[in-house]
Amino acid sequence: METEVIRKKLKEARLKITPQRIAVLQTLINNPHHPSADDLIKTIRQVHPNISAGTVYQILNTLVSKDVIRKIETEHNVVRYDAITESHHHLYIEENDEISDYFDDDLTAMVEDYLKKQGKLNDINIEDVKIQIIGKRKMSPAKNHKYEEKKRRGNNSSLSAVL
């Protein structure tokens, strides 16, 4: 993403435009896999080796508090970050900790309608619906057969080679 667009986002959030903030936001925007702070730090340090971890964490917290980015928590309580602030859902693939964006206005509307019809949330205005769909990739029948066979024999050391 162009630096000017990032500058505009920071300005709209009434944040001081600094090289560090630009680097953090640009790295996050360029990484669609919802990186953790540690992942961001490793990537940023390739270009800015002197940036401190504390600075990156502080910038991330500021960007979250100003709604420039979003914080996501995985099933394993790992905090990841998302540059997309528009309403959307996430697909979480457990075996490789992969998070993908999932946009579905019909699903969001269906959930909102369902909650309204239930009448249990009458005193709450629904501002957003965020669903985290958790799953595992399907194995081909051949891979699944090999996996089950090795698992049955108790040979767990080479299971990863099957996957």
Look at the block and give the residue holding tokens 């971890």. Answer: 53
For the segment 10-20, what is each residue's pLDDT rounded down to a tens digit?
Answer: 999 999 999 99
Residues with Cβ < 8 Å from 135, sequence gap 6 or more?
91, 92, 93, 94
Token pair, residue 12, equals 């709209």
- Residue that wins the pLDDT comparison between 46 and 76: 46
- Residue that wins the pLDDT comparison between 122 and 129: 129
User: Is residue 123 scored above 60 in pLDDT?
Assistant: yes
Task: Work out the average pLDDT over 113-120.
Answer: 82
Considering the domain boundaries, does residue 126 fall inside one?
Answer: yes
Residues 91 and 77 in one domain: no
- Burial class (CB within 10 angstroms; exposed 0-12, middle 13-18, buried 19+) of 76: exposed
For the segment 83-105, what is each residue's pLDDT rounded down to a tens digit?
Answer: 988 888 888 887 777 788 888 88
Q: Which helix (H) or strand (E) is 133 found in, with range?
A: strand 132-135
Residues 6 and 29 in one domain: yes
Q: What is the CATH number of the domain that holds 113?
A: 3.30.1490
Considering the domain boundaries, does residue 156 fall inside one?
Answer: no
For the segment 62-75, what is each residue's pLDDT rounded down to a tens digit?
Answer: 999 999 999 988 77
Task: Work out the average pLDDT over 47-56.
Answer: 95
Total domains, the chain: 2
What is residue 15's predicted lDDT score, i.e. its pLDDT?
96
Range ranked top by mean pLDDT from 6-10, 109-113, 118-122, 156-160: 6-10
The DSSP result for 63-104, as a single string, is: HHHTTSSEEEE-TTS-EEEES--SS-EEEEEGGGTEEEEE--
Considering the domain boundaries, does residue 98 fall inside one?
Answer: yes
Residues with Cβ < 8 Å from 93, sequence gap 6 or more?
99, 100, 135, 136, 137
What is residue 133's predicted lDDT score, i.e. its pLDDT?
83
Residues 63 and 15 in one domain: yes
- pTM greater than 0.95 (yes/no): no
Full residue range of the structural domain in which residue 133 is found: 87-138
- Burial class (CB within 10 angstroms; exposed 0-12, middle 13-18, buried 19+) of 31: middle
Residues of the chain with pLDDT > 70, as a percent, come to 85
Residues 117 and 79 in one domain: no
Q: Confidence class of residue 161 from pLDDT cuts 50, 70 and 90?
A: very low
